[in-house]
Amino acid sequence: MTSGPAFRRLLNPGPVALSDRVREAQLGPDLCHREVEFRDLFTEVRSGLLGVYPQAAGYQAIVLTGSGTAAVEAMVSSLVPRTGRALVVANGIYGERIASMLMASGRAHKVVRSRWTEPLPLAAVERALDRDPGLTHALAVHHETTTGRLNDIGALAERCRARGVVLLLDVVSSFGGEAIGFADWEMAACAGTANKCLHGVPGLSFVLVRSEILTAGATGATSLYLDLYRHAEAQAGGYPLFTPAVQATYALREALAELAEAGGWTARRAHYRELSGALRGGLQAQGVELLLDDEAASGATLTAFVLPGSLAFEEVAAGLKEKGFIIYPGQQSLREQIFRVAIMGALERADVDEFLEAFADVAGALAASRRDE
Ligand SMILES: *Cc1c(COP(=O)(O)O)cnc(C)c1O
């Protein structure tokens, strides 16, 4: 990757470090989004998104301008009908955010939770579905970025299928970097973003929706701007509904081409795994522990580490920033307890090795200054 005077390596879970190629793609010619040139670019990006997972053939990609949250909210507030009743299955911040969206859009819903360090509460899901046959939809997060856990969506999908419950997923931090069961999970839709595992720039997000749902055309959306049915109708004609992030569209086209050339999502996951493995092993060798003891459950794209007892996040992060690395704190109850390091974006093994050295220096200096006090 490139370096420069103000260059920092982003190890936060999006926005990610850009390749030169993606960064430069933003400098394409000015375009009006109502001209055929934009239609062609937009169409290429929409089909490129579907092409990331060849099993997604029965889906359509609806591209929105906005961050990942916009896509999740468009999905939630358009596809859960006003007369529906949703079950949120949550083990982290992003699961809770889905519940807040249902609340904001006035949808009847129920939340089953497990502790953030635990897997999805599948037994509670079964109980809820048994007790409340009126539940029509289930919503969950695939990769829960709060902890780096890759949730067992296959097991949740099985329970939904058995009871005819429609499944909607947040795949914002897994799309492009993990396996997504388009053929097996039978979800009605999933929402993702351009600037996590796809390595695009912030500004675009998307919902992949099963085509038959869109042609059913029943719009019960409680938002005009985020009405997926309206967007789908406009995009079926090749154009976006409102002014899109044109430069981010150029960048996403380039990022999708780069992903395909590098061997697609499986190659990207293998690369992330190699880097995450080196990162985990290297920090463990320095005495830092993983938050999730069930290591098999953690995804390739982000790792939560327990902050060593004597260190505060702010001082570790500040020391690393001086050396050019950005890490990420824990959220809410995990704020004082952990730090997170994401492997997403244009990163190479050398970045991880240099990060490990930087971490050893920073932690060592902080420990020495404690001894001197
Ligand atoms: C990053 C993220 C989001 C959306 O975040 P934005 O800041 O809106 O892009 C949603 N869900 C998950 C799981 C995420 O990691």
Q: What is the DSSP string of 210-235?
A: EHHHHHH-----S-STT-HHHHHHHH
How far is the centre of ligand 1, averaged over its atoms, from the C-alpha of 35 (Å)?
31
Whether 338 has a pLDDT exceeding 90, the answer reads yes
Q: Which residues of 159-185 are buried (b: 16+ CB within 10 A; e: fewer)?
A: bbeeeebbbbbbbbbbbbbbbbebeeb
pLDDT band at residue 82 under the 50/70/90 scheme? very high
pLDDT band at residue 297 under the 50/70/90 scheme? confident
**Amino acid sitting at position 238:** G
How far is the centre of ligand 1, averaged over its atoms, from the C-alpha of 15 (Å)?
10
pTM of the predicted model, to two decimals?
A: 0.96
In angstroms, how far apart are the furthest CA atoms of the chain?
A: 70
Q: Is 173 in the pocket of ligand 1 (CB under 6 A)?
A: yes
Whether 105 has a pLDDT exceeding 90, the answer reads yes
How far is the centre of ligand 1, averaged over its atoms, from the C-alpha of 68 (Å)?
5
- Give the residue whose CA is nearest to atom 9 of ligand 1: 68
Closest ligand 1 atom, residue 69 Cα: 8
Task: Decide: 328 and 173 in contact? Cβ < 8 Å.
Answer: no
Q: Is 346 in the pocket of ligand 1 (CB under 6 A)?
A: no
pLDDT of residue 309: 82
How far is the centre of ligand 1, averaged over its atoms, from the C-alpha of 345 (Å)?
15
Closest ligand 1 atom, residue 195 Cα: 9
Q: Which residues sit opposite 85 in a β-bridge?
A: 108
> Which residue is associated with the tokens 């055309």?
217
How far is the centre of ligand 1, averaged over its atoms, from the C-alpha of 373 (Å)?
41
pLDDT in tens, 68-80: 999 999 999 999 9
pLDDT in tens, 243-258: 999 999 999 999 999 9
Q: Is 337 in the pocket of ligand 1 (CB under 6 A)?
A: no
Mean residue pLDDT of the chain comes to: 94
- Helix, coil or strand: residue 146: coil
pLDDT in tens, 185-202: 999 999 999 999 999 999
